[in-house]
Amino acid sequence: MTKTTYREAVRAAMRKALRDDPRVFLMGEDVGRYGGAFAVSLGLLSEFGPERVRDAPLSESAFVGAGIGAAVGGMRPIIEIMTINFSMLAMDQILNNAATLRHMSGGQLSVPIVVRVATGGGRQMAAQHSHSLEGWYAHIPGIKVLTPATVPDAYGMLLAALRESDPVFIFEHATLYPLEGEVDEAAQSFDLARAAVVRSGSDISLITYGGTLGKTIEAASRLASEGIEAEVIDLRLLRPLDTHTIVNSVAKTHRAVIIDEAWRTGSFSAEISAQIMENVFDDLDAPVARVCSAEVPMPYAKHLEEATLPQVDQIIAAAQEIVPHHG
Amino acid sequence: MAEFVMPQLGADMSAGKLLQWRKKVGDLVQRGDIVADVETDKADIEVEVFCTGTIEKILIEPGEKVPVGTVMALIREEGKPAVAEVPARPQDITAALPAPTAPVPTPRLRGTPVAPSGALEVARIHISPVAKKLAADLGIDPVSLSGTGPGGRITLEDVQRAAQSRAATPAAPAELDRATRMRQAIGAAMARSKREIPHYYLSTTIDMTQAIAWLARENLKRSVEDRLVYGVLLLKAVALALREYPELNGLFVAGKAMPKPEIHVGVAISLRGGGLVAPAVHNTDRQDLGQLMRNFRDLVQRARAGSLRSSELSDSTITVTSLGDQGVEAVFGVIYPPQVALVGFGKIGERPWASQGQISVRSVLTATLSGDHRVSDGHRGGLFIAAVDRLLQEPSQL
Amino acid sequence: MPTPEISESLAVEREHSLFLLREMLRIRRFEEKAAEMYSLRKIHGFLHLYIGEEATGVGAMQAFTPKDSIVATYREHGHALARGMPSTVLMAEMYGKATGCSHGHGGSMHFFDVSRRFYGGYAIVGGGLPIAVGLALADKMQNRQAITGCCFGDGAVAEGEFHESLNLAALWKLPILFLCENNLYAMGTALERHQAQTDISRKAGAYGLPSTAVDGMDVRAVESATQQAADFVRGGNGPYLLEFRTYRFRAHSMADPDLYRTKEEIEGWKKRDPIRLFENRLRDEGVLTESDLTRIESEISDEIEQAVRFAEASPPEPVEDLLNDVESRPKK
Amino acid sequence: MTREEIRDGIFRALTQVAPEADVSRIKPNLRLRDQLDIDSMDLLNFVIGVHKQFKIDIPEADYPQLATLDGFIDYIAKAQSH
């Protein structure tokens, strides 16, 4: 096991993939000479050369579409879209081609492509650079959507994704890149199906993914000091969603809060809440609560951005509201 | 003889209006010639012909609006003999249209299901699902509890606390409740039926000899598990007869008769320990006897286990009740509202039977129809029962 | 008396000319049958016919080898037939049958045949261009010595993906041949009403791409221009753009009342019907006899009738398989 | 198989069909259908239950021999002997 950061873990995984498989190549805005907007691909250009670490012009539709075409043509591209905010420009290629070609061709075409995208707010980038839209992608059948929230997942998920023969989207919350942790480079297989119970508890289930896992764990520990034992679930991936782990937890605790950085209306937390209601209605002791972003274009000012994003206090308040208080 | 039909001119076009003919009877037309102008929602479009020949007959006049697919003219193709008679214009225009690909969901009627829960109104109290489940399991009536949850909602803990502090629970009150609640519900439905529905009753005797003989031969070929009971023959005969008399297959709602396109025959099933339900066998007419038997057995088992689906309780378009096993001669049943008919079958018994001056011993049963006079009359009801009789004479066709 | 070599090459020439004529006629009759089946509600949804543009599809397709890749658009029946896909599986696809070339999943706008490297029709205008660029990128990175033919219409020229794709292809010298079939209309909008610069071939220069405008109604002109452009691209010189100036005799689709152009304009272009033009030329050259023509027409009509019978008789895909092709592993 | 074992097997099949039936009060020589609330569907399920337990075939023609409990036991014993 080696101590590293989330950013270096992703880089190590890409370096291993580029070394092991000649079909793998990295393409995206400023991934080469600049080393990546978040310095994830630093040093890869000098090691693997411009053919396999390709700086793309600012043409998201063309270079994502070219990645899809190259995947159909036998390559295993890793496409980096600098942030989710620019991914809208490639949504037609993603929805109408990447996710659809296998089915529309009657099963003839495979699109083994991995698309990495930085996501989320919290760094005062204001409205156009702070979106959390993973839920949009998780709506589309035909692709996988991963949200690695830990250093081991940042490493293992990328390598596992490269073994899939369907498109895989990996959303890396921008605040996680400096996160420290350990990676087991010898780990062979890596699970791309199960959510993780990060902390077990019996009074309430706190369900989240990606950038809000840290805040949720902190909320759980503060609740414990008040005698409320919270179970924390890191979804790890949004599609396919591990409904089994979610409903088992809520069946045990009878209460749930879902923490999701997206805007509340039509967010992925709404889907999780619906699946809880559909599967374990009779075990619920209170309506499923949700802590999401306020419905406002992300403001620039620090105090306003903090008022917009889900915070630890809100998670604690939501839990206290539905867990019977003792004494 | 080639048919020149109203063409499909766009994905969402269902009908078109003929503006004018460009050709008349006797004209020679080449493949691709413009033969007529048609007006659609979007614009007037010139319509080409796809064959070469002479116009034999014009069937539609300019100004007429007809659905896509309607034959508008007949063209005798080059080198093909003229056909003597002219195919009649389809009376029922809709028959010419292929069924819409996506099955149009028939509006599911939230009629009061006949089953016990129908007529009972439980006072609205706020209680969480898990608390309600526990209260039911422990036989605690939630009305007696005060909720400590938000907005006074009764929570799990409230029920647990009540359970601990409660004296010894009386012997299984819940079980007693259910049977009386069911009796009340059935009573209410029957009273309403009698009050609102002007019943007429018909009965006839049906010779079952052929059916029983065929059934015995059929069961020899089948393993024990797949063996058929004669009730299944009755069920299929009723379903097939309903195709010819659709007014008996449907509901009477808000003062109007609503015949139903699908035939879901509700089958009266007695519950052990009293009570009755009549869940629907979906699409009875489209199932073969083997399928009907399997579904019927499954329905009986689930009815008695209390695990019927809500759709099975609300989808019946008519009900059949057979009290032959109980030794009843003839059943003059009460229609289950909002249905408009009920068919009853009595027991099968041996009877002297005279036909063409000869006396023989035949196995017969009495079939009865209770009909809603607002929707059908004795004449149509009689023809229906006769159709059931006729169908039972050729069991192999069922 | 021509020497054996000359008569030999004349025979090959005659054989090839008849082949080109036959291919164009085959497409025309297939499209007429498709229109007929659509009006009889056997084919549903959208249907975009290639009648009038046969010379571009047939002429251009001769320059591509089995190792090359083709990316087309929703007006793809001609390209699919010219690429060798049987008319049976195309008709079955439009009938939505399991035997269709896309198992009934794609329909008229989405034919696929991986064995012939026909990578599909695309219904989003311009949506296929980046895919074609990607295929060319993969060929180059794997040193496959193959090129990609990317067909699109004048409408796609207005899409951002046209600009992005041409720039990327030129920047990375990718082995791709852009084939713009300019039929003067983007659905109902005439070229001069949607492009400031209507000479499409001149746009390629902005990206350092060589290009040529070709009379799309002359099958031999299309064939030779495409052959030259393909040789240029095969030589590793980067992409090339061909603009075929052609015209569609039918409306944009079956649902289009064709209100945006005059009957006179259509009749005018019909005088330059690519099939009639070529027939007359082959008659003048003594290559085509009436018996050739009737033989070709009857062979084609048998083939088309057989395609319809195949489609009518084919089974639909069982509904139970609905989710099979959404992911590589069928849904558990 | 002894007669008691056969009788218990029959009762097991019977309670499947009529759980509320009190098997101890069944008279072995009276018609079962007069002592129990069994309709034609119950009878078929009852026969199927017996068929599964004793692995013997019971054609419809033999139903009259099963009218009483004793008759039923004799029938099964005979079927098992060959």
Q: How far apart are CA A204 and CA A225, in angstroms?
A: 14
Q: How far apart are CA A110 and CA A71, in angstroms?
A: 8
Range of the domain at D54: 3-81
3-state secondary structure of B378: helix
Q: Which residues of chain A does B155 touch, with a Cβ-Cβ cutoff of 8 Å?
A: 285-286, 324
Q: Two tokens at B321?
A: 């009740």
Size of interface A-B (CB pairs under 8 A): 31
> CATH 3.40.50.920 residue ranges in chain A?
196-322
CA torsion sign for D24, D27, D32, D34 is negative
> CATH 3.40.50.970 residue ranges in chain A?
2-183
Residue with more model confidence, B245 or C230:
C230
As for how many domains chain D has, the answer is 1
Range with lowest mean pLDDT among B47-61, C179-193, D23-37: D23-37
Confidence bin at D58 (pLDDT 50/70/90):
confident
Q: What does the DSSP 8-state code read for residue B118?
A: T
Report whether pLDDT(A24) > 90. yes
Q: Which residues of chain C does B44 touch, with a Cβ-Cβ cutoff of 8 Å?
A: 257
Report whether pLDDT(C213) > 90. yes
Q: Which of B220, B227, B272 sits opposite D44 (nearest CB)?
A: B227
Q: Do the Cβ atoms of C133 and A75 come within 8 Å?
A: no
- pLDDT for C222-238, tens place per residue? 999 999 999 999 999 99
B130 touches chain A (CB under 8 A): yes
Domain map (residue ranges) of chain B: 2-83, 198-397
At the second CATH level, the architecture of B2-83 is: Beta Barrel (2.40)
Is residue B55 within 8 Å of residue B27, measured between CB atoms? yes
Q: Two tokens at A118?
A: 């930085």
Is residue B257 within 8 Å of residue B247, measured between CB atoms? yes
- pLDDT value for C203: 97
- pLDDT value for B108: 32
Q: Do the Cβ atoms of A110 and C328 come within 8 Å?
A: yes
- pLDDT value for C1: 55
Q: How far apart are CA C314 and CA C70, in angstroms?
A: 27
Q: What is the mean pLDDT of residues C189-197?
A: 92
- pLDDT value for B308: 67
As for how many domains chain C has, the answer is 1
- Which residue, among B177, B178, B273, has the nearest Cα to D20 in the 3D structure? B273
CATH code: domain A196-322 is: 3.40.50.920
Task: State the smallest CA–CA distance between residue B183 and chain A in angstroms.
Answer: 28
B156 touches chain A (CB under 8 A): yes
- pLDDT for B141-177, tens place per residue? 888 888 888 778 899 999 988 888 874 444 444 444 5
C46 touches chain B (CB under 8 A): yes
B170 touches chain A (CB under 8 A): no
CATH (domain of C75): 3.40.50.970
**Given phi > 0 = left and psi -120 to 50 = alpha, else beta, which region is D47?**
alpha
CATH class of B198-397: alpha beta
B296 touches chain D (CB under 8 A): yes
Q: What is the mean pLDDT of residues B36-64?
A: 89
- pLDDT value for C174: 98
- pLDDT for C268-293, tens place per residue? 999 999 999 999 999 999 999 999 99
D64 touches chain B (CB under 8 A): no
B272 touches chain D (CB under 8 A): yes
Confidence bin at B189 (pLDDT 50/70/90):
low
Q: Which of B8, B31, B40 sits opposite C38 (nearest CB)?
A: B8
C-alpha distances (whole Å) from B386 to each of B203, B245, B380 are 10, 11, 10
Residue with more model confidence, A288 or B78:
A288
C44 touches chain B (CB under 8 A): yes
Asked if the structure places residue C63 within a domain, the reply is yes
Confidence bin at A237 (pLDDT 50/70/90):
very high
Cis peptide before C274, with omega less than 30 degrees from 0?
A: no
Report whether pLDDT(D35) > 70. yes
Q: What is the ipTM of this complex?
A: 0.65
**Which chain A residue shows the shortest CA-CA distance from B132?**
A282
Computed over every residue of chain C, the mean pLDDT equals 95
Q: Which of A66, A68, A73 sits opposite C139 (nearest CB)?
A: A73
The chains found to touch B (3+ Cβ pairs under 8 angstroms) are A, C, D
Q: Which of C112, C131, C134 sits opposite A106 (nearest CB)?
A: C112
Q: Do the Cβ atoms of A69 and C130 come within 8 Å?
A: yes
Q: How far apart are CA A174 and CA A116, in angstroms?
A: 12
Q: How far apart are CA B251 and CA B260, in angstroms?
A: 7
Which distant-in-sequence residues (6+ apart) come within 8 Å of C205 by Cβ? C211
Report whether pLDDT(B331) > 90. no
Q: How far apart are CA C215 and CA C206, in angstroms?
A: 23
Report whether pLDDT(A191) > 60. yes
Restricting to B residues 319-348, those with a Cβ less than 8 Å away from any Cβ of D are 324-326
**Which chain A residue shows the shortest CA-CA distance from C133?**
A66
Asked if the structure places residue C179 within a domain, the reply is yes
Q: Two tokens at B79?
A: 């080198």
Task: State the smallest CA–CA distance between residue C165 and chain A in angstroms.
Answer: 6
Q: How far apart are CA C255 and CA C46, in angstroms?
A: 8
- pLDDT value for B93: 38
* Cα-to-chain-centroid distance, residue C304: 18
Q: Which of D41, D58, D59 sits opposite B229 (nearest CB)?
A: D41
Restricting to B residues 26-85, those with a Cβ less than 8 Å away from any Cβ of D are none
Q: What is the mean pLDDT of residues A229-253?
A: 97
- pLDDT for C289-307, tens place per residue? 999 999 999 999 999 999 9
Q: Which of C36, C46, C257 sits opposite B11 (nearest CB)?
A: C46
- pLDDT for D65-82, tens place per residue? 888 888 888 888 888 876
CATH (domain of D29): 1.10.1200.10
Report whether pLDDT(B98) > 70. no
Q: Do the Cβ atoms of B128 and A286 come within 8 Å?
A: yes
A139 touches chain C (CB under 8 A): no
Q: Do the Cβ atoms of A322 and B157 come within 8 Å?
A: no
- pLDDT for C74-119, tens place per residue? 999 999 999 999 999 999 999 999 999 999 999 999 999 999 999 9
pTM of the model: 0.67
Q: Which of C113, C139, C168 sits opposite A66 (nearest CB)?
A: C168
Q: What is the mean pLDDT of residues C58-65?
A: 98
Q: Which residues of chain D does B216 touch, with a Cβ-Cβ cutoff of 8 Å?
A: 60-61
Q: How far apart are CA C13 and CA C28, in angstroms?
A: 23
CATH class of A2-183: alpha beta
- Which residue, among A243, B74, B31, D60, has the nearest Cα to C32 in the 3D structure? B31
B131 touches chain A (CB under 8 A): yes
Q: Which of D40, D45, D48 sits opposite B231 (nearest CB)?
A: D40
Confidence bin at C331 (pLDDT 50/70/90):
very low
**Which chain C residue shows the shortest CA-CA distance from B51?**
C36
C254 touches chain B (CB under 8 A): yes
The chains found to touch C (3+ Cβ pairs under 8 angstroms) are A, B
A165 touches chain C (CB under 8 A): yes
Q: Which residues of chain C does A97 touch, with a Cβ-Cβ cutoff of 8 Å?
A: 122, 127, 131
Determine which of A25, A64, A96, A108 to mutate to test the interface with C (most C C-beta atoms within 10 Å): A108
Cα angle B150, B151, B152 (rounded to 5 degrees) comes to: 90
Highest mean pLDDT among A47-61, B6-20, B365-379: A47-61
- pLDDT value for A256: 98
Q: Do the Cβ atoms of A284 and B150 come within 8 Å?
A: no
Q: Which residues of chain A does C104 touch, with a Cβ-Cβ cutoff of 8 Å?
A: 106
Q: What does the DSSP 8-state code read for residue B274?
A: S
- pLDDT value for B328: 79
**Which chain C residue shows the shortest CA-CA distance from A74?**
C138
Q: Tell me the sheet residues that pair with A116.
A: A80, A170
- pLDDT value for C229: 98
C95 touches chain B (CB under 8 A): no
Rounded to the nearest 5°, which phi and psi values hold at A143? -130, 160
B155 touches chain A (CB under 8 A): yes
Range of the domain at C25: 16-314
A251 touches chain B (CB under 8 A): no
- pLDDT value for B361: 84
Q: Which residues of chain B does A322 touch, with a Cβ-Cβ cutoff of 8 Å?
A: 150
Q: Do the Cβ atoms of B231 and D37 come within 8 Å?
A: no
Report whether pLDDT(D17) > 50. yes
Q: Which residues of chain D does B301 touch, with a Cβ-Cβ cutoff of 8 Å?
A: 45
Range with lowest mean pLDDT among A232-246, B138-152, C193-207: B138-152
Q: Which residues of chain B does C259 touch, with a Cβ-Cβ cutoff of 8 Å?
A: 43
Q: Which of C71, C123, C130 sits opposite A61 (nearest CB)?
A: C130
C331 touches chain B (CB under 8 A): no
* Cα-to-chain-centroid distance, residue C28: 12
Active site residues of A: 60, 129
Report whether pLDDT(B110) > 50. no
Q: Do the Cβ atoms of A285 and B128 come within 8 Å?
A: yes
Highest mean pLDDT among B338-352, C182-196, C296-310, D30-44: C296-310
- pLDDT value for C2: 59
Q: Do the Cβ atoms of A103 and C325 come within 8 Å?
A: yes
